[in-house]
Structure 1
Amino acid sequence: MTTTHRFLILVTSLLSIISCKQQTTSEDQIKNSPTQIQLNTTKGNIVVELYNQTPKHRDNFIKLAKDSTLNGVLFHRVIKDFMIQSGDIKSKAAKPQDTLGEGELPYRVSAEFHPDLFHKKGVLAAARDGNLERASSSTQFYIVQGKIQNDSLLQLNEDRINGWLREHKFKNSFKHKDLVNALQQAEIVGDQTLYKKLNDSIIKLAKEFEDFERYTIPKEHRKVYKTIGGTPHLDQNYTVFGEVVSGLNIVDSIANAATNNLDRPLTDIRIKSVKILEQ
């Protein structure tokens, strides 16, 4: 074999390796690129991008889109300067007088709190009930409208965050297990009087509880809250798993809708269809 032939073989091998690496890199980029989902509403289209930092919520929302679970649901809870909520599967055929907010699939999604993800304007987050694990609803979600914050408001919100964190840690401490179990049982049997009494006791006792790590709103988050706005009091208590990349004006339009005393729009606003966008 001549030197020229050896050189040509070497060059061909190197080009083949480079080509394979480039193909692998391209495939990885496609695989890791954020998924975008379009919500086709009666007010217009909203495109949300799902965060890869919250894979359980990402995958669940993709599944809901593929299964057409959210097609036809209403925005059943709308509060100006706060958020718009949807995903109640019982809302698809709801009558104007119906009370909504309880419809969902029979499972929860484990909480995924991430230090870099917070409730700035336009984020997509999971609704939930008061379960001890702070796990998310299978189908219900909200998009933040929020409002511009200042330093004094941020301090109030930080105090509120820590109040919820304190109560969460209190309820999950072994020392208070019996009290919390009694509260849950009262809720199950529908004893509202006992439930209120026990819950008031827990709130009062929790105020003295200090065995938890206090949360401080990071400087970077504060800057965003003071410029584009949001709802900071929900941070580290509700899972944020995406954000609006197109259609914030539609979010504002929905948030500004006239509502009844239960925050349901007087004129139905519906998600007609949900579509996963091609990368």
Structure 2
Amino acid sequence: MGEFRVRFFPEVAPLAVENFKNLASSGRYNNTIFFRVINNFMIQGGDTTNTGSGFDSYAGGTFADEFSEQALHLRGALCMANQGTPNTNGCQFYVVQAPQEALVSNIWTQLREKMDRVYPDAVKALYQTYGGCPWLDFSYTVFGQVYQGMETVDAIASVSTNEQDKPDTDVVIQSITFSTYTAAQDPAAASSAASAPAA
């Protein structure tokens, strides 16, 4: 289906970045599948057992959540999938695919009323411009951002799935490689940096 490129955030999520890089470098993500795909939401993979229930980190067991106001669930965010409770990150990850159009009009009121979260105007503007899943912020670790190849993520998200959101035809991660990120490779870097909220 293609490839996509991700910039890591080791300054805000060092545990998640190190875990992902170790798993990928050791080949444990090779030939695994995106086993959960929900269009206008996210694509999930990284289960090294290919069953959807594997959660061991590179070191074995799980590791702690890492949250930051600088790492949000914007469209293209690379995030750890936990086991539904805090500090249970392992090998599974997901990429947020939700476009701006998927944000419901009253999302900020819902977040304030149901989760007691008040978002600064600058953060709201980012979500309203790029899309994403703000209700996941501070519940799941964001450790990277797709900067090239979102069309591949969209293509994966649009495949036909069964009732458990598993693709009818396997979408396989053949391999993961690493290179040095430079802003020159990222057409959105300048605009993203200019619009990012201050620390």
Q: TM class by shorter-chain length?
A: 0.7 to 0.9
Q: Residue 139 in 1 paired to residue 57 in 2?
A: no
Q: TM-score, normalised by structure 2?
A: 0.82
2:62–2:89 Cα contact (<8 Å) kept:
yes
SS state at 1:64 partner: helix
**2:163 paired residue number:** 261
Q: Is the alpha carbon distance of 1:159 and 1:270 closer, same or farther for their aligned partners in structure 2, counting shifts above 3 Å?
A: farther
Moved over 6 A (4+): none
Q: Residue 217 in 1 paired to residue 169 in 2?
A: no
**1:47 paired residue number:** 5
**1:101 paired residue number:** 52
How many Å separate the matches in 1 of 2:84 and 2:166?
21
Partner AA of 2:92 in structure 1: Q
How many Å separate the matches in 2 of 1:58 and 1:109?
12
1:127–1:137 Cα contact (<8 Å) kept:
yes
Q: 1:126 aligns with which of 72, 77, 80?
A: 80
The count of aligned residue pairs is 175
Partner AA of 1:70 in structure 2: Y
How many Å separate the matches in 1 of 2:113 and 2:25?
40
1:162-190, CA deviations, whole angstroms, 9 ceiling, x for partnerless residues?
1xxxxxxxxxxxxxxxxxxxxxxxxxxxx
How many Å separate the matches in 1 of 2:82 and 2:142?
12
How many Å separate the matches in 1 of 2:96 and 2:88?
16
Partner AA of 2:154 in structure 1: D
How many Å separate the matches in 1 of 2:68 and 2:174?
31
Superposed displacement of residue 249, structure 1? 0.4
1:166-222, CA deviations, whole angstroms, 9 ceiling, x for partnerless residues?
xxxxxxxxxxxxxxxxxxxxxxxxxxxxxxxxxxxxxxxxxxxxxxxx421221221
SS state at 2:140 partner: coil
Superposed displacement of residue 237, structure 1? 0.7
1:147–1:231 Cα contact (<8 Å) kept:
no
Q: Residue 274 in 1 paired to residue 176 in 2?
A: yes
Q: 1:86 aligns with which of 35, 45, 50?
A: 45
How many Å separate the matches in 1 of 2:90 and 2:15?
11
Q: 1:153 aligns with which of 97, 103, 107?
A: 107
Q: TM-score, normalised by structure 1?
A: 0.60
Q: Is the alpha carbon distance of 1:275 and 1:159 closer, same or farther for their aligned partners in structure 2, counting shifts above 3 Å?
A: farther
1:92-116, CA deviations, whole angstroms, 9 ceiling, x for partnerless residues?
xxxxxxxx42113241121101012
How many Å separate the matches in 2 of 1:243 and 1:60?
16
2:34–2:46 Cα contact (<8 Å) kept:
yes
Superposed displacement of residue 153, structure 1? 2.2
Q: Residue 252 in 1 paired to residue 154 in 2?
A: yes
Q: 2:129 aligns with which of 213, 216, 227?
A: 227
Partner AA of 1:230 in structure 2: G
Q: Is the alpha carbon distance of 1:158 and 1:250 closer, same or farther for their aligned partners in structure 2, counting shifts above 3 Å?
A: farther
* RMSD of equivalent CA atoms: 1.6
SS state at 2:95 partner: strand
SS state at 2:176 partner: strand
- Which structure is larger by alpha-carbon Rg, 1 or 2? 1
Superposed displacement of residue 77, structure 1? 0.2
How many Å separate the matches in 1 of 2:112 and 2:99?
16
SS state at 1:241 partner: strand
2:33–2:170 Cα contact (<8 Å) kept:
yes
How many Å separate the matches in 2 of 1:113 and 1:251?
24
Partner AA of 1:104 in structure 2: F
